[in-house]
Structures are given as structure tokens and as C-alpha cells.
Structure 1
Amino acid sequence: MTGGKIAVSDLSVTFVQGRRRIRAVKGVSFSVKPLESFGLVGESGSGKSTVLRAICGLAPVSGGDIRIDGGAIQQPRDKAFARRVQMVFQDPYGSLHPRHTIDRVLSEPLSIHRFADREERIVQALKDVGLDARFRFRLPHQLSGGQRQRVAIARALIVEPEILLLDEPTSALDASIQAEVLNLLNRLREERSLTVIMVSHDLAVIDHMCERLLVMRGGEAVEALDRSSLADRKVSSDYTRALLTASEGYVR
């Protein structure tokens, strides 16, 4: 299994609220190579999370094109897309049904995609994210924030996707737990040969996870960088410099 290639060309997303039209994303383009980890970074309201939602079919695309391995994505997204592309959301509590046991949370995608050996797959999925099998029959409120996010990661990976979309997956966690989850995601990415797009407001997080990144502001692309340019502070925009200053001491 190898990660897929993603190409986003001149993407625009417009929300309609009554008579108002809000352009949340304005002509953004980037490409992500198979097995690459790519970051979208910017402050709140920059449009970075909306780009991920557009890829998943959760935001209204008003212009441009999204392709995976050269093929156009079906609208609405079909079951084959959900098998290939999975997303982990920011809030590890809100993304899990409060009355469903962890066993049920992990069983449902296996049922939808008709996987066999479900029991073994659930136990292995928990083990892969560092959780004991005894967590299977607990409810989300019985887990810590870090444990809930590990379950959300296990749920995303249990159907063996090629592409993983991460929407601020550590921002709701304590700083000590953030590092654990980021290291877990890095390990799983390598073990599973995943293509990853990660959204964060924090350049230090993106630096930890991603080889290349796109800085966004106000729905637009500001500049594209690779990890070495970030480390050497070779940036062209004042906005990126401000993000670097905010991450000072954390970005390598």
C-alpha cells in the first residue's frame, strides 16, 4: 500500500449565509506527493481547515479542482473515497459518539467497508495507537483527551486508507500529550506508508510533522516553504515571519 498523490488547483470555497457570500478559500493551489507529509498553516480564519473539508466533501467548492492520483473526486464522496481518505478532527470528544463504546466506534467502519476478522482488527488498532484491549468497552467520557484522540486516529486508520487528513489533531490536548500524539502520528505515517495533509496554526507542530508547507492567510496562499527553508528562516512574507516569531524556541 502506498499513499496517493493529491493535487489542489485554484480551489475556491464560498459559503452563502442569507444574502451574504463568504469566500473562505480564494484560488489556493498545491500538490502533495505520495508518502509526503504536507502542512497547511495559518491563524484562525485563514481557510486552512476549510481546504481539508473541501477535500472531504464537507465544504462547498465554488471553483477549482481537487484530484487524487490524477482522477477527479466524486461528488458526493462515495464509499471508495472514504476507504482511501480518512480525516482526524480537532476535537477528540466531539468526533466520538458519547453513547457508543470504543468497540462500536471501531466496529462501524469495518462493517461499512465489509472487513473480516473484526475482533482481531479492533484489538490490533488499539494496540497500534498505544491503547490496551480493555479500552474496548469504555465510553468516550471515561477516557482522557489524549486517549480519545488515539481512538479517533485508530478509527481513521482501521480501514487502511492511503491518505490521512489531520485537522489540528493536537490543539485540544495538553502540551505534554501533544508531543506523544505527534510522535505517534509520525510513526504510523511511516509504518502505513501514508500521504498526510496536516492543518495547524502552530509552525512548530508543522515543522515536527511535515516536509513542505503552505502558509495561508484570509483564505489565500501566502507562500510555500520546505522544512529547510523554515529552519534557515528563508521566508519572504512578513506574515510568515510573525508566525515564526510566535513559534520561537520550538521550530528547529
Structure 2
Amino acid sequence: MTDPMLDIQNLQVIFGTGRLQVQAVKNASFHVEAGESYGLVGESGSGKSTVLRAICGLAPISGGHVRVDGKEVTTPRGKAFYRTIQMVFQDPYASLHPRHTVDRTLSEPLAIHGVKDAETRILQALREVGLGPSFRFRYPHQLSGGQRQRIAIARALILRPKVLLLDEPTSALDASVQAEVLNLLEDLRHKMGLTYILVSHDLAVVAHLCQRLLVMRNGESIEETTSAALRSGQASNSYTQSLIEASQGFSRDAPQPASSLAT
């Protein structure tokens, strides 16, 4: 039996000390198979983004285990780790350096890891995310939000990782652009055999992109379920059920509040 691509066991993340101590993640456990897309959902402050940051070394692991392809991750992470796992952040306006061209943004990880033939790799990365060579020497302010996020995805993919950590990758984009980026991510996963962990508060996004998901609340794992169960509105946990109902919006038949101006 092969090891899962990612195996998270009893993960704890604690910030601060003494009375200021905050336990952001409390004994979270899940695993993700190679080629799978796995979702982490929950309200703001539930710890889902902190899990991603702990995996990639941006938040401290206070307890538990993180294994990638059967190997325990080390602190600090080595270059081999970042050739295996890359992250796409929520805000493409903040994650790209405003004074770096697309060419410099994409060439930097290649230089750090000693990858040769940078020009070919950069043009290939642009094609993979649906952008042509004309974007190569543009600055972030010359790009739309969707184009910026495509560049962020290209930067994550240029080292040919096996795993992408996606932290709300479409929440800063317009609704029409969100669908384009989600379809791009789905196509890339199938073409490249990638493994995803997607963090989102939008259950529709998770149901579209993921096969399985973990519901989190106050840093704890509440329930693991499937996207099929999510779409059908089935949940064994009352909190998960409340998330599903909230995502479906208000019913048109709901009673309207009495107007304060009524006479």
C-alpha cells in the first residue's frame, strides 16, 4: 500500500505564549491521495488557512506530524520540499511584487533552484495558464485581477511541483473570472497529475473542485465528507448542515421583516 501524498496527523499550531497564547489549529488530521483535490472549509478564523501555512513553513508546527509522500517535513523546509509543494495565495494584488515584471517573477524560482533554460520554461508556463508571450514583460499594474492570479499559478507551477496549496485562490476575483480560474485549475490538475488542497469559505467552489473535504471550526476538525454529500445537502454534523444552509442563501418565501416606516 502506497503512502498518501500528504498525511497530516494531530496537527497543532499555537501562536503566542502565556495568557496571549492562541491555539489556531487543534489536532487536525486528514490525508490526501496523489492526484486528489481536497477541500478545507469553515468560517473565518476556523484555522483552515493556518493549516496550509503550517504545511509550507509559514506557521509553526507546535505538535503532530506532516508527511509528504511518506517523508516527515523538516524545519526549516529544504529546497526539495519547495520543488514538491507550492502555494497560491488569496490576493494576487499582494502576492506579486509591484516592481517586478512577469519575466522576473517567473525566473526567480528557476534561478533559486538552479534550473536552466529559463526562457523556454517561462514561455511554457505562460501558455499553460492561458497567457501568451506578450505578457512576459508586463508589470502587475498592467494586468487584470484574473491575469495576475494566472501569473501566480504559473509561478507556483514553474518548478513542476506535485502539490499545490490553494488559499482562497478566487475570492478576490469577479464572479465571471472566478469560473475561468477554477476551470483552469481543474484542467491543470488533470493534465499534470497534480494534488490540490483548496481552502475556501465558498462551498460551491469546493464542491466543484474537490472530491473530499474537511469541515473546520475554531481550529478543530468537525467532519470529513464528500462533495457529493455537500451538493445533496447531506451532513451528519449540525454545524456542517448550518454551513450548507447558509451557502444556499435566503429563500424567496422567507417572511419579510415589518417596515419601520409602516403606519
TM-score by length of 2: 0.91
In the TM superposition, residue 163 of structure 1 has moved relative to its aligned partner by 0.6
The answer for the alignment partner of 1:91 in structure 2 is 91
In the TM superposition, residue 231 of structure 1 has moved relative to its aligned partner by 2.5
Q: Which amino acid aligns with 2:7?
A: A
Q: Which amino acid aligns with 2:231?
A: A
The answer for the alignment partner of 1:246 in structure 2 is 246
Q: Which amino acid aligns with 2:133?
A: A
In the TM superposition, residue 69 of structure 1 has moved relative to its aligned partner by 1.6
The answer for the alignment partner of 1:127 in structure 2 is 127
The answer for the alignment partner of 2:30 in structure 1 is 30
Deviations 1:196-228 (A, max 9, x none): 100001110000100000000110111000122
The answer for the alignment partner of 1:152 in structure 2 is 152
The answer for the alignment partner of 1:118 in structure 2 is 118
CA distance in 1 between partners of 2:43 and 2:134 (Å): 39
CA RMSD of aligned residues (A): 1.4
Q: What secondary structure does 1:114 align onto?
A: coil
Deviations 1:45-90 (A, max 9, x none): 0000000000001111111110012111011011110100000000
Closer, same or farther in 2 for the Cα pair 1:18/1:149, shift >3 Å? farther
Q: What secondary structure does 1:93 align onto?
A: helix
CA distance in 2 between partners of 1:242 and 1:149 (Å): 31
In the TM superposition, residue 19 of structure 1 has moved relative to its aligned partner by 4.4
Same amino acid, percent of matched pairs: 63
Spell out the pairing of 1:1-252 with structure 2 (5 A cutoff).
Answer: 5-16=5-16, 19-248=19-248
Deviates further, 226-235 or 95-104: 226-235
CA distance in 2 between partners of 1:17 and 1:10 (Å): 20
Q: What secondary structure does 1:116 align onto?
A: coil
TM-score by length of 1: 0.95
Q: What secondary structure does 1:197 align onto?
A: strand
Q: Which has the larger radius of gyration?
A: 2
CA distance in 2 between partners of 1:167 and 1:78 (Å): 22
Residue-pair matches, total: 247
CA distance in 2 between partners of 1:227 and 1:206 (Å): 7
In the TM superposition, residue 120 of structure 1 has moved relative to its aligned partner by 1.2
In the TM superposition, residue 230 of structure 1 has moved relative to its aligned partner by 1.7
Answer yes or no: is the 8 Å Cα contact 2:12–2:26 preserved in 1: yes
CA distance in 2 between partners of 1:4 and 1:78 (Å): 20
Deviations 1:129-183 (A, max 9, x none): 1111111111111111110000000000010000110000000000100000000
Answer yes or no: is the 8 Å Cα contact 2:4–2:70 preserved in 1: no
CA distance in 1 between partners of 2:193 and 2:94 (Å): 28
Answer yes or no: is the 8 Å Cα contact 1:4–1:195 preserved in 2: no
Answer yes or no: is the 8 Å Cα contact 2:41–2:203 preserved in 1: yes
